[in-house]
Structure 1
Amino acid sequence: MENVLRPLIVFGTALVLTLVIGWATDRLLRKADERNHDTPLWGLLRRGRIPYQLVLCTALLRGSYDQAQLLERHQVALGRTLTLVLIGSAAWMAIRIASAVVETTYSRYARAHRDPARVRRVRTQVELIMRVVSAIVIVVAAASMLLTFPEMRAAGASLLASAGLLGIVAGVAAQSTLSNLFAGLQIAFGDMVRIGDTVVVDGEWGTVEEITLTFLTVRTWDERRITMPVSYFTSKPFENWSRGTPQMTGIVYWHLDHRAPVEAMRERLRDILRACPAWDGRAYNLVVTDTTPNTIQVRALVTAKDADDIWTARVAVREQMITWLTEHHPYALPRVNTAQAATAATAATNQVPLQKRYADHQAGN
């Protein structure tokens, strides 16, 4: 009977203590969160209550399982299992705590600074730092788990002896991975591209949605996701429309007939922009930039405060100008000559009546 009651008492006591301590800790964090509305730290720390309770329960069982004579035939295996669970849950809790601290620091910085470019840069750095911290914690936890096995401790000397050769082989084999890793760190701290930046990559226009240590995701205007290695942004040129000031100048082209009313188009462009909320009022212009035997090329310049507004302004100017020309100046639209070409004989025959009418006109005068 004692062999049955003792394990139940140990498990029950550990479970009850874990629930009581976990509830009390969560209660304290909730009160701290209610008193300090300016910082989200206490609310974020509550996310770690599950790994926290798991650490408590595992630590209590790990410290009392041998005295309680739990599973005497499998005490070694049980002790090692509890140790592995304790290490894993401790690593999980450490990542949650680090995440809470990092997110709190970022939120304070975002509230203190109004510059969206600086906020996006810090956000990118914070996310990459958090990924590095998580990777380090996971690697340390995995190594600690492996060292709990006597066989791994015995093999440590040989592993250390061959570390130099293995490092060279791993470096050659993972050359692309390491280059992406260092490129990710370069992007994070070199301020080349940030989360939320508007970029043009390989002719695709989109917004940077995610940056990791190895790849970068761009969300295009049609909701597609383009994923590419971060080393691309350190080795090839790309357009970053959010670099520096977000203000932009957009271009709209029309191919029109030579009789197009350019001066009236300038006035119409001014009226269109005054009614367009996307125009920031800085500048506008309309000029003839090129000419061909059949058409002229008219270019309009418009300005806006960011990439989204410049797209809206360009679309509005293009559509409304074409509609205005169609309704009020249809002759300005380009035409295609479909008349039958005259041969040399036909041209000579038609030339005689023309010369006769000219001679009669001169005689009449």
Structure 2
Amino acid sequence: MPLTILLPDPLTALIAAALAVGIALVLHAVVFRIMKRFAERSDSESDGVLLKRLSSPTRVSLVALALVLVAREVPMLEAVWAKVASFVMPILVGWMVLAILRALVETMKLRANTTVEDTLKARRKRTKLTMLNRLATFIVVFVVVGLVLLSIPGVRDIGVTLVASAGLAGLAVGAAAQPALKSLIAGIQMALTEPINIDDVVIVEGEWGWIEDIHTTYVVVKIWDERRLIVPTSYFLEKPFQNWTKSTAQLLGAVKLYLDPSTRIGPIRQEYERLIKANRLWDGRVQVTQVTDTQRDAIEVRLLMSAKDSPTLFDLRCEIREAILDWLAENQPEAFARTRLASPDGIGITMEDQKAA
């Protein structure tokens, strides 16, 4: 005897829906448990990422599919489903698309090896994937919201009326949304032209830091003291800024010493060569000792050096500066610059000599 004869229609629909949902959930749990075991035995991390991202949307989609199949046999349930399907289905499809998109992006990011010394290619790949993922997410969400709104008769009628009288209202909205649209278009341009990448070392508004994250409308710059500088995306297309890792992370740096004009440069050059060659932070490319300026009471000696990246270069400069100052204090203390004054008899004396007298 059919179930619809034994029970009232509402109760029949409720029991049928509950059974359909229960069977769908059990089936989903069994299938994903089996797939999870296969993923754990796999050497690829992408299998686990794919299962993690698809677990929730496939569970809900399978429940929806079960309700659709049961609704064909239960008239009341079919009537209820017909009312909600027009805006539930776009949401489910959009959710599934976003889950697949994010799973693919995360899988491709895993292949971008950032553990090697030269991470430029990996950082470029990660940046493109991040930007394209966010742009695609925006488009999918926009389309889903539009489909859901159009599925509601009242909203659809209002939308047709507004389109008919858009005119000046459209211009006003366009003017108000100009900054947001400008930043959005700038985000697309950045994904294509790559003026910056994630983890690039930059100087923006006089602040030195790293590109921590790139969004469609703004960029997060992590300052060296762990502050965050939030910069509009359009800034990097309209204003000049320094990118220290655009093509390579290698950099040159200098330590400047201000010494007495009578200082012997030869021993300092030899000691600097010994220090730089023994330092683990030096990359072996550049080491130069030069007198770059002459003033009345001092000469400027520049110790030029190179390193694989900016943090390493900063540490290298500090270590060389400390070591060379210690060496000068021990071996050539007279090399430190002094201020000279002319005595009445024409003999030059230093400020230190004058204080001692």
Shorter-chain TM-score range: 0.7 to 0.9
1:244 aligns with 2:250: no
Compared CA separation, residues 82 and 311, structure 1 to 2 (3 A) = same
* Aligned partner of residue 281 in structure 1, secondary structure: coil
TM-score normalised per structure 1: 0.81
Matches within 5 A, 1:184-223: 184-223=187-226
Partner of 1:358: none
**Are the counterparts in 1 of residues 292 and 302 from structure 2 also a CA contact under 8 Å?**
yes
Q: Give the alignment partner of residue 297 of structure 2, picking from 286, 294, 314.
A: 294
**Are the counterparts in 1 of residues 202 and 208 from structure 2 also a CA contact under 8 Å?**
yes
Gaps in structure 2 of 5+ consecutive residues: 1-5, 347-357
Determine the C-alpha separation between the residues in 2 that align with 1:44 and 1:121: 23
Determine the C-alpha separation between the residues in 1 that align with 2:277 and 2:30: 62
Cα offsets for 1:210-257 (capped at 9, x unmatched): 111111111122211111011111111111111223221111112222
Determine the C-alpha separation between the residues in 2 that align with 1:85 and 1:106: 32
Determine the C-alpha separation between the residues in 2 that align with 1:202 and 1:10: 64
- Of 296-305 and 33-42, deviating more is 33-42
**Are the counterparts in 2 of residues 180 and 230 from structure 1 also a CA contact under 8 Å?**
yes
**Are the counterparts in 2 of residues 247 and 303 from structure 1 also a CA contact under 8 Å?**
yes
Q: CA deviation at 1:106?
A: 4.0
Report the structure number with the largest CA radius of gyration.
Answer: 1
Q: CA deviation at 1:206?
A: 1.2
Determine the C-alpha separation between the residues in 1 that align with 2:113 and 2:320: 36
1:306 aligns with 2:309: yes
Compared CA separation, residues 28 and 147, structure 1 to 2 (3 A) = farther
TM-score normalised per structure 2: 0.83
Partner of 2:322: 319
The number of residue pairs the alignment matches comes to 338
**Are the counterparts in 2 of residues 199 and 241 from structure 1 also a CA contact under 8 Å?**
yes
Compared CA separation, residues 238 and 135, structure 1 to 2 (3 A) = same
Determine the C-alpha separation between the residues in 2 that align with 1:218 and 1:153: 42
Compared CA separation, residues 59 and 38, structure 1 to 2 (3 A) = closer
Determine the C-alpha separation between the residues in 2 that align with 1:163 and 1:254: 69
Partner of 1:2: 7
Gaps in structure 1 of 5+ consecutive residues: 352-365
**Are the counterparts in 2 of residues 29 and 43 from structure 1 also a CA contact under 8 Å?**
no
Determine the C-alpha separation between the residues in 1 that align with 2:174 and 2:258: 57
Two-structure CA RMSD over aligned residues (Å): 3.1
Partner of 1:37: 43
Determine the C-alpha separation between the residues in 2 that align with 1:114 and 1:254: 32
1:50 aligns with 2:56: yes
Determine the C-alpha separation between the residues in 1 that align with 2:210 and 2:219: 11
Q: Percent identity?
A: 35
Q: CA deviation at 1:34?
A: 4.2
Q: Give the alignment partner of residue 282 of structure 1, picking from 285, 293, 313.
A: 285
**Are the counterparts in 1 of residues 287 and 305 from structure 2 also a CA contact under 8 Å?**
yes
Compared CA separation, residues 189 and 302, structure 1 to 2 (3 A) = same
Partner of 2:350: none
Determine the C-alpha separation between the residues in 2 that align with 1:89 and 1:46: 17
Q: Give the alignment partner of residue 105 of structure 2, picking from 102, 106, 113.
A: 102
- One-letter identity of the residue aligned with 1:271: R
